[in-house]
Amino acid sequence: MKKIFTTTFLLLLAFSTMLFGQQKLAEFNNSLKDNNSNIKDIYTLVNHQNNFFSIFFADAKNVYSYNFDNTFSIKSKLLFENKKRKYKDIIGYNFLENGDYKLYLKNKENDFLEIYFSLNENASIAKEFKLLKDYETYLQSVSINNKFYLISGSKEVNGLYFYTFDKDKPRRNKVNLDKLDLVSSSGEKKELMSILMKSLPLLKFDENTPNSIETSSKKQKMYVQDESVIFTLNNNSDFTQIVKIDLKSFIASSFKLKTPQEDIKRHKKKSNSYLLNNKIFSLTFSKEKLNINIIDLTNRKIIKKFSVSKTDTIKFKNSSIETRTDTYKKHNELKKTKKFFNTMNYANPAINAFLNNNKYYLTIGGSLGPATRSSGGGSFGTSSLTLPNGYSVSYSNNICSSFYYYINSDEFNFIKFSSILGEKFSHLKNEKNTNAFEKISNYLDSKKSSSPFSNFSLDPFKSHEFNPYNGIFKYKDFYIYINYDRKEKSFKLLKFIN
C-alpha cells in the first residue's frame, strides 16, 4: 500500500510539473530572522554581468539579504538591523565594481535610505538623506546595467531630473526638455511635465512581460531601452507622442505618430499604444470602428494594419471576447462584435503585447475601472499599489506589480480578447495564449485544491491574495517565483517560462 501511495504521489508531482511548467531551482530558510515581525516586502536584484542575484526580505526593523551565484547556491547572507519603520518601499539598487551593492528605500514623505552591503567584510552600513527639492515629486526609479537612477519631476518648472549615485554624494542631472514638441488633448502646445504629472502613478513596463488590461489602459507609460528611458504619451487621440531620454547626455527628444481613423474628430475616438521590440502597437477606437497599426520606430512606417467595424466578425482574435463588470461578477463571454463595441464605449482602451518564440501575443480591449465590492478593491498611490488585504506592492518593482495586477483581474472590470501574430505580423489562427503568469496562477490554484484532479476548470479571473512572503523576478529569459512554504517554513525558487 505504501509503495502504491508513493508511486501515485510521484506521478501526481510529475503531472503537476508538466501541467504548470514549474521547476524547483533552490530551497532555503530565512535563517537570519529571529523575531516574530511579519515580512513587509521582498525585493530582488540581478547582476547582469555574472547572473548572480540577491533576495531581500524586509520587516519593520530589519533587512535580510541572501546572495546567490548563477548555480542557485547561496554564497553569503547579510543582515541589516534596526532600519527605521518609516522606510517601507524598496525602490532600487546599485552594483559596485567590487561586487558590493547598495539598496535604496523610501518613505511616503520622500525621505530616502541607502544600505551599503559589503560582501567582503560581511557587513552593512546605512545612511539617510533628503534628496528632492520642495517642488519635486518622486516619479519612478530604474536600474540599468547595474546602475541606479531615481527619477523626479516638477510641473511648476517643467523639470525632469535623474539622480545618479556613482559616488558618495548623489548627483542631480536635469534633463534638457527644450527641444520637445508636444500637444495637449485639445491640440495646443503642452509641456512634458504637465502631461506626465497629470497621470500619476507613472507605471514602468518591462517590454517582454505579460501585463493586465488595467495597467495597459494608462495613457502615459514608461519603458527602458538600452541606455534610454522612453515615455509614450496618449493624452491626444490623434497621436502617440514619443519622448526619449538619453541617459548618457540627459537630453530629451520627441516625435509624433498619427493614430488610425484620421477622418474621425479627436473627441469622437479614443486611442492607446504599447511599445515592444522597437515597434509601437497603436489602437484607436470609435463607435463604429476599431483599428490597430503596428509601426516600426526605426523608420516610423506602418508595417501591419488590422481593422474591424461594429458589424464585422473579428477575424484576428484567438480567444472569445471576455468581460467582467459589476453586472457580470464573474467572467462572461460576448458572442457578437456589436456587444464588444457597446461595452468598449465605456472603457479606457488598452493594448499590450509580449514576444515569445518569434510570436507576438496581443491583448486588446479596455479597462472599465475598479470592481465594486463590499470589501473594497485595490487603490493606487503615487508609488505603490495597495491591495484589498492592506499589503502594498511598489511600482518600482515593476515585474512584481505587473504580476499582481495580472493575476488579480477580478479586482477590476474589463473587456478583452487575445490575438497571436507571427514573426511578420500575420495572424496565427490556431495558436493558444499561455504565459508564465498564467502558469503561476494555475499553480497557485492547484495548491489550494485538496486534490490535483479537482481543479481542472481553473477560473482565469480568480483573485489571489497577495502574500508578502512571496515574490517574483525576471532572470535571463524566464521568471522565478519565490514561494513560501508555511508548513516547512522555507522559501522555494520555482522557474516558470512563457
Q: ∠ CA 453-456-460 to the nearest 5 degrees?
A: 145
Q: What is the CATH number of the domain that holds 85?
A: 2.120.10.70
**Do 211 and 325 share a domain, yes or no?**
yes
pLDDT score, position 403: 84
Residues 159 and 207 in one domain: no
Residues 425 and 281 in one domain: yes
The tally of CA atoms less than 13 A away on the side-chain side of residue 334 is 23
In angstroms, the CA 37 to CA 59 distance is: 6
pLDDT digits (tens, 9 = 90+) for 438-460: 899 888 877 765 434 333 333 44
Task: Mark the ranges of the chain whose per-residue pLDDT is less than 50.
Answer: 2, 5-18, 374-379, 381, 388-389, 450-462
Contact between residue 39 and residue 468 where contact means Cβ atoms under 8 Å apart: yes
Query: 269 in a domain, yes or no?
Result: yes
Q: What are phi and psi of 9, to 5 degrees?
A: -60, -45
CB-CB contact of 365 with 415 (8 Å) = yes
Number of domains in the chain: 2
The domain of 294 spans 199-433
The pairing of beta strand 379-380 with beta strand 147-154: unpaired
Residues 124 and 207 in one domain: no
Domain match, 336 and 257 both: yes
The residues with which 270 forms a beta bridge, in sequence order, are: 285
Q: What is the DSSP letter of 171?
A: E
Pairing verdict, β 269-276 and 359-370: unpaired
445 located within any domain: no
Return the pLDDT at 466. Answer: 53
Secondary structure class of 466 (helix, strand, coil): coil
Same domain, 102 and 204: no
For residue 452, tell me if it sits in a domain: no
> How high is the pLDDT of residue 8?
47
Chosen domain end from 386, 405, 433:
433
The pTM assigned to this predicted structure is 0.88
Does 114 lie in the same domain as 216? no
Three cell numbers written together for 456: 481542472
Q: Are residues 267 and 161 in the same domain?
A: no
What contacts 440, CB < 8 A, 6 or more positions away? 20, 22, 403, 407, 472, 479, 481, 496
Residues 371 and 409 grouped into a single domain: yes
Domain presence at residue 5: no
Residue 417 belongs to some domain of the structure = yes
Res 324: pLDDT: 86
In a domain, 226, yes or no: yes
φ/ψ of 289, rounded to 5, equals -150, 145
Does residue 257 sit in the same domain as residue 362? yes
Whether residue 221 is found in the same domain as residue 366: yes
Q: Which of 403, 433, 463 is the last residue of a domain?
A: 433
Q: What is the pLDDT of residue 198?
A: 87
The confidence score (pLDDT) of residue 464 equals 53
Same-domain status, 141 and 240: no
Q: What is the pLDDT of residue 399?
A: 82
Which residues lie across from 243 on neighbouring strands? 231, 254
* Alpha helices by DSSP H, 117-255: 192-196, 213-216
The answer to the question of residue 204 being in a domain is yes
Domain edge (last residue) among 411, 433, 455: 433
Q: What pLDDT does residue 401 have?
A: 77
316 falls within a domain: yes
